[in-house]
Amino acid sequence: MNFHILTLFPEMVLQGLNTSIIGRACEKGLLSINAVNIRDFTTDKHKKVDDYTYGGGAGMLMQAQPVYDSYQHVVNNMKTRQRPRVIYVTPQGRVFNQAMAKEMAMEHDLIFLCGHYEGIDERVLEEIVTDYVSIGDYVLTGGELPAMVMIDSISRMVPGVLSNQESGETESFSGNLLEYPQYSRPEEWNGKKVPEILLSGHHKKIEEWRLEQSIQRTKERRPDLYEKYVEEQRRLEALNPKKKRKYKRNLKIQSENQVSKNQEE
């Protein structure tokens, strides 16, 4: 999979992404990171890429010409002639989530457009952007950090990038559930012991315990996700009687755990 980042700060992007898991995936040829400096495509002799906004207002706006030319440079050098998805990183876009990461991981090429100052001339956005995406309801100084966050998340969904593909499928947000608590050696630390079930070697019971913990943790920490999980289980229940029994059993276990917790408190 190929990531192309249109940016004013290519060094920032490359230094942040060419390490750890993503760096190793690039070395294996599973991913490629192409940071394109928008300033290289300005016609201004001083390498200026911004100007005042029409109608007045505070701040400067990135001009359409260098952005468009940098985009055309990327497209012209792609092996495929299919129009790529262009993701403009902006607080005005849809909020990025795990489902979007999985969807975007199916693309061969993704272009990320990183804005600065007061944003980018609307005309070039209308011309090239296919997706307006945000990582949250707050404002940053530029689009590089959000682009790096999304690229990291998307990369994990590309086959072969993770050494154990299961880890990408079972961690937080899989099936609208947060990940269960995990433990490592030693068995006791600071007076806290690893749950006995995890030392039992009984894989079926361990899986059941982990599911119970995921459900409970999601309900406590992300009730919005928990509601989605409940609705999904109800939908599956209507389609499959076995799912119905499993769903009711999970709710019963969760209820018993909550009663036990309240008694302890």
Domains in the chain (CATH in brackets) are 2-163 (3.40.1280.10), 172-264 (1.10.1270.20)
Q: Considering all CA atoms of the chain, what is the largest pairwise distance in Å, rounded to the nearest integer?
A: 73
Q: Measure the CA–CA gap between 79 and 238, rounded to whole angstroms.
A: 46
Average pLDDT over residues 61-73: 97
Tell me the whole-structure pTM to 2 decimals: 0.80
Buried residues in 212-241 as b, exposed as e (16+ CB within 10 A): bbbbbbbbeebeebbeebbeebeeebeeee
**Percent over 90 (pLDDT), the chain:** 76
- For 203-258, write each residue's pLDDT tens digit: 999 999 999 999 999 999 999 989 999 999 998 888 876 655 555 566 555 656 55
Per-residue pLDDT at 132: 97
CA distance 106 to 5: 18
Q: Name the E strands within 103-174.
A: 109-114, 131-134
The percentage of residues in the chain with a pLDDT greater than 70, rounded to a whole number, is: 86
Residue 110: band (very low, low, confident or very high) from pLDDT cuts 50, 70, 90: very high
Average pLDDT score over residue span 173-178 = 78
pLDDT, average across residues 60-73: 97
The three-class DSSP label of residue 3 is strand
Residue that the structure tokens 């050098």 belong to: 77
* Span 76-96, average pLDDT: 93
Asked if residue 57 has pLDDT above 90, the reply is no
pLDDT at 109 over 50: yes
CA-based end-to-end distance of the chain: 51
Closest by alpha carbon to 8, among 150, 87, 116, 120? 116
Q: What is the DSSP letter of 33?
A: E
87, 163, 167, 236 from 194: Cα distances, Å: 44, 26, 21, 34
Output the pLDDT for position 140: 92
Q: How far apart are CA 23 and CA 17, in angstroms?
A: 7
